[in-house]
Amino acid sequence: MPRTYARELAFGAPVAPGHGVLRPLGLCDVTIDDGFWAERQRVNGTTSIPHALAWEDKVGWVRNFVAAGAGESNRTGKDFSDSDVYKLLEAMVWESARLGDEALEREITRLAGVVAAAQAPDGYLNTHFGRPGLPARYSDFEWGHELYCYGHLFQAAVARIRCGHEDQLVEVALRAADHVCRVFGVGGTVAVCGHPEIEVGLVELGRATGRTQYIDQARLFIERRGHGLLKAIEWGQDYFQDDLPVRAAAVFRGHAVRAGYLAAGAVDVAVETGDQELLTAVRRQYDRTLARRTYLTGGMGSRHTGEAFGEDFELPPDRAYCETCAAIASVMVAWRLLLATGEEKYADVIERTAYNAIMCSPSLAGDAFFYANPLQLRWPGRQPDSDEPCPRAESGARAPWFTVSCCPPNVARFVASFGTQVATVEADRVRIHQFASGEIRAELASGHQVRLDVRTGYPADGRVEVTVLECDPSQEWSVALRVPGWAEIELDGLTRQGDLAVARGRFRPARRFVMDIDLAPRVIHPDPRIDAIRGCVAVERGPLVLCLESTDLPEGFSAEDLRVDVDETPVAVGDGARIAGWLLGQPEGHSWPYLAQPEPPGLRPEQVRLIPYRRWGNRGPSTMRVWLPRPEAELCVGAESGAANWPGRTADTGDTGDTDAVNVDPELGQPA
């Protein structure tokens, strides 16, 4: 049952629903101090955020605000480049709150001033429109992205409020929000933005300030959508999700990021207005999208054309688009549904998507990013120019920046605020959704304040230890940990209750609870309705999807050349696995690749290393596959005759894999 609770303004989280089953904890409540996420946050803060800021300066997107303030008409970048400045600002705000960084604070203040100088007296703010020599305001709802940019501005301002600063950035956002309500409110311009985002921004700004008119405006935008206000384009009205009212759609379709941001905004509006029908509709759409239109990594977006969803079960691994921003949008939806419904499965989705589809984007060094995140690469492709923004979403190598660079600042804000995904409060229960070493401080519904320590080597190690640091021994309360849907577990001090492991009672400080998750490699089979990966399997370890990268194969072999032996169990090695299979001999090739007889390839037995998918592409040009083919059943002729078929090679059936070598985790610099 949804419950209303007091709204804490400055608890440091991006999403603070007025009611729901779970109440989120923010950066003021959760500290991550070690392990995987601490390291990701360290790299994000020391490298990715400054890197993004340097690029935004270099390509002129910050200067656009200065030019706008000076009334000049020259500017650089796409129509929506303002939004990437706002997203980076939001990242900086979370990062500053996380670390308490004075220098960062000054930088935020400086940038807020630059942004403020570009705002028109009536609150309008956009560096691409509305000045002499530039297109007029609100002259292009399909592609202008003006409302989209406001949405990100609002999210940055909400971050500022929730981190305890009511400053110039907030004033700018409020003036802009008031302007939006005046222009687009009831009786005003009946329009929607081609790219949803203002909806989540408005609702959150309303939640953070108590100004319900912002929530009303968000609802108006949601209700207006789906009636063909936007001009039809070649990719179809569904590209913009303007073909059907939100509550009437069956599944996510069209442009994947747009679809996700819209759904998140619809959940926000539904929660604030008590619209159970709308909430149910979005939830049903999201569930169906997970069931039929989502990649193993949690990535969404099957087509380059329109950066869009495909049809049900259209999930090609090579032409998967899986835009980083679409994965972040998916997590936004899942998080809101988790808070609204308490259904722990949504935290499973967040975990999978975060570890694979999102964290694949940044390089280990934090200074290059994937925009599209395919699950297969046959050719290493073009290497991006490290001095110029990469124009293309596809190349097989991460790029330092893009002409459309929505993904890097999105990753930055996601990583900086990851602490807000870790735990929630449900009456007198603390629920831990994501496993990261650190401290959780929570005030339960009764006012009882508790502190927990979490220690874990996750995702490399499956043991999660939770220790009570502080509580009132006279009060009864609960601690609950998410049990991942794929997991075999052992518990100490906790009891399994569905998808939670729970302990309830009156605890003393030092009380410890342990969940041990089996991280043995798991072989995954695709639903047979997915054509493109028929006959393949994948391997997972814990939350990590694994992949084969050619860097781990003998010289001259491609990831395309492996056939996997599904009768042999994969062996855990480091944070990846070792599997048994065969490498194909290099066939002569046919002049026409459609044959009267199935073709038995020469096969050489091989033990092969699989690594976490999110780490691929950090060791130079390579080919990669997540889904690994089994040999055609009638073609697997066995090791000896397979080797005899091996053109030009010795009939060597020995094991050539690096079975017992110590594997050094390149990220932690320690043996894995």
Binding-site ranges for its own copies (CB under 8 A): 232-236, 287, 290-292, 294, 296, 303-305, 310-314, 316-319, 345, 376, 378-379, 382, 391-392, 403, 485-486, 522-536, 538, 560, 589-599, 601, 629, 632-633, 635
Shortest reach from residue 578's CB to its own copies, in Å: 20
For residue 576, what are the β-bridge partners? Answer: 573
Quick check: bond before 526 cis, omega within 30?
Answer: no
Instruction: Please say which residue, 527 or 652, places its beta carbon nearer to its own copies.
Output: 527
Shortest reach from residue 510's CB to its own copies, in Å: 38
Instruction: Please say which residue, 204 or 243, places its beta carbon nearer to its own copies.
Output: 243
For residue 442, what are the β-bridge partners? Answer: 450
Shortest reach from residue 509's CB to its own copies, in Å: 39
Shortest reach from residue 536's CB to its own copies, in Å: 7
Burial class (CB in 10 A: 0-12, 13-18, 19+), 210: exposed
Instruction: Please say which residue, 216 or 540, places its beta carbon nearer to its own copies.
Output: 540
Shortest reach from residue 360's CB to its own copies, in Å: 17
Shortest reach from residue 597's CB to its own copies, in Å: 7
- Are 347 and 338 spatial neighbours (Cβ–Cβ below 8 Å)? yes
Show the DSSP H helices in 142-246 as ranges. 146-162, 168-184, 198-209, 212-224
- Are 25 and 425 spatial neighbours (Cβ–Cβ below 8 Å)? yes
Among the listed residues 509, 423, 444, 428, the one whose alpha carbon sits nearest the alpha carbon of residue 471: 509
- Identity at 540, one-letter amino acid code: E
- Are 470 and 456 spatial neighbours (Cβ–Cβ below 8 Å)? no
- Are 445 and 5 spatial neighbours (Cβ–Cβ below 8 Å)? yes
Instruction: Please say which residue, 304 or 448, places its beta carbon nearer to its own copies.
Output: 304
Shortest reach from residue 535's CB to its own copies, in Å: 4
Shortest reach from residue 522's CB to its own copies, in Å: 7
- Are 168 and 114 spatial neighbours (Cβ–Cβ below 8 Å)? no
Instruction: Please say which residue, 174 or 584, places its beta carbon nearer to its own copies.
Output: 584
Shortest reach from residue 553's CB to its own copies, in Å: 16
Instruction: Please say which residue, 264 or 296, places its beta carbon nearer to its own copies.
Output: 296
Instruction: Please say which residue, 291 or 664, places its beta carbon nearer to its own copies.
Output: 291
Between CA 547 and CA 3 the distance in angstroms is 43
Instruction: Please say which residue, 403 or 446, places its beta carbon nearer to its own copies.
Output: 403
Shortest reach from residue 290's CB to its own copies, in Å: 6
Instruction: Please say which residue, 106 or 382, places its beta carbon nearer to its own copies.
Output: 382
Instruction: Please say which residue, 97 or 530, places its beta carbon nearer to its own copies.
Output: 530
Between CA 78 and CA 664 the distance in angstroms is 42
Q: Which residues of 267-292 are buried (b: 16+ CB within 10 A; e: fewer)?
A: bbbbbbbebeebbebbbebbbbbbeb
Burial class (CB in 10 A: 0-12, 13-18, 19+), 650: exposed
SS3 of residue 536 by DSSP: strand
Shortest reach from residue 180's CB to its own copies, in Å: 32
Between CA 31 and CA 17 the distance in angstroms is 22
Shortest reach from residue 459's CB to its own copies, in Å: 18
Burial class (CB in 10 A: 0-12, 13-18, 19+), 662: exposed
Instruction: Please say which residue, 109 or 305, places its beta carbon nearer to its own copies.
Output: 305
- 3-class SS string, 17-79: CCEECCEECCCCCEEEEEHHHHHHHHHHHHHHHHHHHHHHHHCCCCHHHHHHHCCCCCCCCCC
Which pair of structure tokens corresponds to residue 97? 């709150």
Instruction: Please say which residue, 265 or 298, places its beta carbon nearer to its own copies.
Output: 298
- Are 608 and 549 spatial neighbours (Cβ–Cβ below 8 Å)? no
